[in-house]
């Protein structure tokens, strides 16, 4: 079955609340109806950090973010398919869930993968599967027209230093989830004396 083509028409900033600036990508589906994909601007940084992707590879990061909704999810694969599992990318379950018991081999995810490279391989296999079988998003450029995604390319705001900080935190969470690092100790609550209240 060929993938449906969603053709990007426009990209704009969208502010669902003051703390979460987003990008809104408006598309036309094959039946002529519109579809809007909204994602926080920081998503590109998170994908770079989660999957150890070069933060300057904005086109790759956009491709991932725009196709994630159409990729099989390892916890709820579309039609029972999981291309990562079919490729042998399996990891021990961290907890019992559904039919899987803790330690059973399940499709690799960001937190079950032994490292970011394995997590990236699994995620990209799912993205490519979604593009080939479900939905392919593209700009449908015509002569004399600019690519609507250029708005994001010019203003993506992906900062390699912030990506590095996020990557360290994500890697630590992966190690904690797998029992390969200790849980962070929570700081004790500060004590307040009565005479501190003026």
pLDDT for 198 = 40
Confidence of residue 195 (pLDDT cuts 50, 70, 90): very low
Residue at 190 is within a domain: no
In a domain, 154, yes or no: yes
Query: 């935190």: which residue's tokens?
Result: 169
Model confidence over 91-111: pLDDT tens digits?
999 988 888 899 999 999 999
Contact 53, 60 (CB under 8 A): yes
Domain that includes residue 157, residue range? 4-181
**Contact between 70 and 135 (Cβ < 8 Å):** yes
Identify which has the larger pLDDT, 114 or 75: 114
Residue 64 domain-assigned? Answer: yes
Asked whether residue 198 is domain-assigned, the answer is no
Q: Residue 191 falls within a domain, yes or no? A: no
In a domain, 19, yes or no: yes
Contact 53, 65 (CB under 8 A): no
Query: Is residue 181 very low, low, confident or very high in pLDDT (cuts 50, 70, 90)?
Result: confident
Residue 194 has pLDDT above 50, yes or no: no
Whether 193 is covered by a domain: the verdict is no
Q: Where are the alpha helices (DSSP H) in 51-159?
A: 58-67, 83-86, 116-133, 150-155
More confident residue, 44 or 143: 44
Number of Cβ within a 10 Å radius of residue 119: 24
pLDDT of residue 158 exceeding 50, the answer is yes
Is residue 114 in some structural domain? yes
Q: Which residue has the higher pLDDT, 142 or 52?
A: 52
Q: Of 54-63, 77-86, 128-137, where does mean pLDDT reach its minimum?
A: 77-86
Question: What's the structural domain count of the chain?
Answer: 1
> What does the pLDDT look like over 34-78, one tens digit per residue?
999 999 999 999 999 999 999 999 999 999 999 999 999 887 655
């Amino acid at each position: 079955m060929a993938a449906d083509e969603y053709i990007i028409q426009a990209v704009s900033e969208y502010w669902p609340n003051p703390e979460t600036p987003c990008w809104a990508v408006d598309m036309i589906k094959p039946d002529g109806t519109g579809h809007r994909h909204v994602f926080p601007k920081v998503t590109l940084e998170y994908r770079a950090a989660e999957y150890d992707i070069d933060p300057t590879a904005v086109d790759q990061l956009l491709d991932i973010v725009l196709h994630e909704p159409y990729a099989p999810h390892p916890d709820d694969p579309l039609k029972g398919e999981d291309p990562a599992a079919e490729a042998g990318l399996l990891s021990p379950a961290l907890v019992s869930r559904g039919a899987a018991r803790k330690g059973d081999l399940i499709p690799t995810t960001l937190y079950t993968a032994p490292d970011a490279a394995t997590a990236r391989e699994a995620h990209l296999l799912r993205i490519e599967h979604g593009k080939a079988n479900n939905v392919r998003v593209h700009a449908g450029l015509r002569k004399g027209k600019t690519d609507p995604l250029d708005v994001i390319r010019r203003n993506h705001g992906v900062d390699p230093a912030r990506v590095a900080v996020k990557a360290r935190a994500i890697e630590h969470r992966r190690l904690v989830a797998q029992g390969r690092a200790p849980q962070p100790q929570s700081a004790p609550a500060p004590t307040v004396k009565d005479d501190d209240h003026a």
